[in-house]
Amino acid sequence: MIVVFVESWNNQFKKASFEAVSYARSWANTAGCGVRAITSASAENASPLAQYGADEIATLELAQTGAGIGAQLAGLVGDAQGVVVAGTAMGKIIAPTLAALTSGALSTNTTGTPTSTSPVTVERGAFSSKGIETISLNNGLPIISFVPNAIGINEESGAGAM
Amino acid sequence: MNILVCISHVPDTTAKINFTADGSALDPAGVQFVINPYDEFGLTKALHIKEAQGATITVLNVGGPETEPTLRKALAIGADQAVRINATSTDAITVAKSIKNHIQANAYDLIICGQESIDYNGQQVPAMTAAFLDFPFVNACVGLDINGGSATAKAEIDGGHALYSCTLPMVVGGKKGLVEEKDLRIPNMRGIMTARTKPLAVEEGEGGGHTAAVSFAKPAAKSAVKLVPADQVNELVRLLHEESKSI
């Protein structure tokens, strides 16, 4: 499973939320697995995530801080093949916290979906956008934090089991 | 109070970035290296705290011997002592582990990092360091007040600001706004002279790595501006949705 953390604001999703699910769907299609979305939104508001590719949707009460959410996710991703977090202000704390606590392999500022899954290889911005780095995530749980608006939204239905 | 300021050794912001012929790394020829601009805000903030309530400031870099001039510049600006952790700095989690190890062996009340370095733009090390230590962490920090054993921190978030109250020790990922650009400290002659004799210790860092750079390349040249006639709103929407992915 590719696990995607889907951020919500006052029980509502923004574009970055749907983009995160689309990203996870794209990665899961390459890896030959499913997508599990984790969100704090209510089940009623979370169900539309299925149309962007979520096969499973878990709604949880989450911590108030990015570090707290990162710690919660660390306990939920044991069976994951990868994790996706949007590069929002909160996501920029969640992703590295998760990587530290799971001894994962993290790519931030990512601008593309994985071009390889063994190891996971992605492109990211570097040198303040004067360069593009291709990075491989070699050891530990692959975790990708992408730049919002870099990937776009794709509607591709998942099973959406709550 | 003991303050640790983490310093990155990065290409100057005006440097022309080129990569080696095989694309495996930055070509350092002709590149001037400086203190990471985000870290400069943190160092000046530390100096403000020192002048207000007294503190010892240690600056730390994870890198090879080539980074020592950058540490000496930080000493010239006003830090009291420096530590270079001898390790490569291209994998964030091993950098954070090295910093964590140093912090666990020394007592710090406040750890100030820049929110990111302008070479790898990772925004990873400060949060990772805080997670390893289980310290409170505030990122994108644009305001910090210390009151005894606690702190109030202002952070930029999506759509505004947030105020956090934390106990010390804590980790901060700072940016412009932590201090104003006009207040950044620069070395004076006395600072440059005394920097030569201030202590600079070297410790061994963590090895290994979880990620690896495969290659570097320059981005494609920007395309010409597209002008969309005012009566073609549908075409504008299509371009924003399909090409720039803005909506």
**What average pLDDT does the segment A89-102 reach?**
97
* Contact residues, chain A, for B140 at CB < 8 Å: 89, 92
**What average pLDDT does the segment A5-11 reach?**
92
Residues of chain B with pLDDT under 50: none
* Contact residues, chain B, for A93 at CB < 8 Å: 127, 137, 139
Question: Does the pLDDT at position A55 exceed 90?
Answer: yes
Residue among B126, B213, B244 minimizing CB distance to A133: B213
Question: Does the pLDDT at position A152 exceed 90?
Answer: no
The answer to whether A135 touches B211, Cβ cutoff 8 Å, is yes
Q: Which pLDDT belongs to residue A67?
A: 95
B99 touches chain A (CB under 8 A): no
Question: Does the pLDDT at position A160 exceed 80?
Answer: no
The answer to whether A129 touches A8, Cβ cutoff 8 Å, is no
CB contact under 8 A, A109 and B244: no
Q: What is the ipTM of this complex?
A: 0.95
* Contact residues, chain A, for B244 at CB < 8 Å: 149
B213 touches chain A (CB under 8 A): yes
CB contact under 8 A, B123 and A134: no
The answer to whether A34 touches A12, Cβ cutoff 8 Å, is no
Instruction: Label each residue of chain B as H, E or C.
Output: CEEEEECCEEECCCCCCCECCCCCCECCCCCCEEECHHHHHHHHHHHHHHHHHCCEEEEEEECCHHHHHHHHHHHHHCCCEEEEEECCCCCHHHHHHHHHHHHHHCCCCEEEEECCCCCCCCCCHHHHHHHHHCCCEEEEEEEEEEECCEEEEEEEECCEEEEEEEECCEEEEECCCCCCHHHCCCCCHHHHHHHCCCCEEEEECCCCCCEEEEEEECCCCCCCCCCCCCCCHHHHHHHHHHHCCCC
Residue among B96, B215, B219 minimizing CB distance to A129: B219
Residues 139-158 of B with CB under 8 A from A: 139-140, 155-158
Taking the CA of residue A140 and the nearest CA in chain B, the distance in Å comes to 7
Taking the CA of residue A34 and the nearest CA in chain B, the distance in Å comes to 24
Question: Does the pLDDT at position A127 exceed 90?
Answer: yes
Q: Which pLDDT belongs to residue B56?
A: 98
Q: Which pLDDT belongs to residue B6?
A: 98
A57 pLDDT band, cuts 50/70/90, is very high
Taking the CA of residue A158 and the nearest CA in chain B, the distance in Å comes to 22
- The set of residues, in sequence order, having a beta carbon less than 8 Å from that of B10 and lying 6+ positions away, is B33, B34, B35, B36, B117, B118, B119
Question: Does the pLDDT at position A159 exceed 80?
Answer: no
Residue among B158, B213, B218 minimizing CB distance to A89: B158
Q: Over chain B, what is the mean pLDDT?
A: 94
A43 pLDDT band, cuts 50/70/90, is confident
* Contact residues, chain B, for A95 at CB < 8 Å: 124, 127
- The set of residues, in sequence order, having a beta carbon less than 8 Å from that of B39 and lying 6+ positions away, is B5, B6, B7, B8, B113, B114, B117, B174
**What are the tens digits of pLDDT across the range B62-86?**
999 999 999 999 999 999 999 999 9
Q: Which pLDDT belongs to residue B157?
A: 93
B33 touches chain A (CB under 8 A): no
Q: Which pLDDT belongs to residue A17?
A: 94
Query: B232 to each of B27, B225, B229, B245, how far by Cα in Å?
Result: 46, 16, 6, 18
How many Å from the N-terminal Cα to the C-terminal Cα in chain A? 15
Residue among B157, B210, B218 minimizing CB distance to A138: B210
Residue among B119, B212, B217 minimizing CB distance to A136: B212
CB contact under 8 A, B211 and A109: no
**Cα separation, A11 vs A8, whole angstroms:** 6
* Contact residues, chain B, for A15 at CB < 8 Å: 247
Q: Which pLDDT belongs to residue A42?
A: 85
- Output B46 or A161, whichever has higher pLDDT: B46
**What are the tens digits of pLDDT across the range B88-113?**
888 999 999 999 999 999 999 999 99
Residue among B122, B129, B245 minimizing CB distance to A149: B245
Q: Which pLDDT belongs to residue B88?
A: 85
